[in-house]
Amino acid sequence: MAESGPPAWMQAMTEETRQNIVDGFFRLGVPCVVLAAVLWMCREAAFAVHTSVVIPVVKGHTEYLEATRQALTGIEKTQQQQAVTMERIAKGQDEIRDLVKPK
């Protein structure tokens, strides 16, 4: 059965090292330690938001842009065909006008 107690890395620390860490906390002050803890929690929250919110939003936006690009390509082809058709209609109307025009 595994013995309960501090983790291996903490067991390897000497008493002097532990005291140096505690002294460092007191030297830096409790507000700095609290600030470090808050910054660490914000970092963890940012990672959580990145994976649960940002990545799906970017994926959805990319899919939307791809669909828009395909729609615009279809519109472009339709407008090109429409331009050719309008040119043919204009030529036909010119020919009819020339035939009907009094001399």
Please report, for the chain, the start and end positions of each structural domain, with discontinuous segments joined by +: 15-100
Contacts of residue 25, Cβ cutoff 8 Å, sequence gap at least 6: 33
pLDDT band for position 28 (50/70/90)? Answer: confident
Taken as a whole, the chain contains a residue count of 103
Q: Which of the pair, 6 or 69, is modelled with greater confidence?
A: 69
For the entire predicted model, the pTM comes to: 0.47
pLDDT at residue 7 tops 70: no
Per-residue pLDDT at 20? 84
User: How open is the CA angle 55-60-63, to the nearest 5 degrees?
Assistant: 125
Contact 74, 68 (CB under 8 A): no
The pLDDT tens digits for 32-42 are 878 888 998 99
Per-residue pLDDT at 84? 96
The pLDDT tens digits for 53-100 are 888 999 999 999 999 999 999 999 999 999 999 999 999 999 988 888
pLDDT band for position 6 (50/70/90)? Answer: low
Per-residue pLDDT at 103? 67
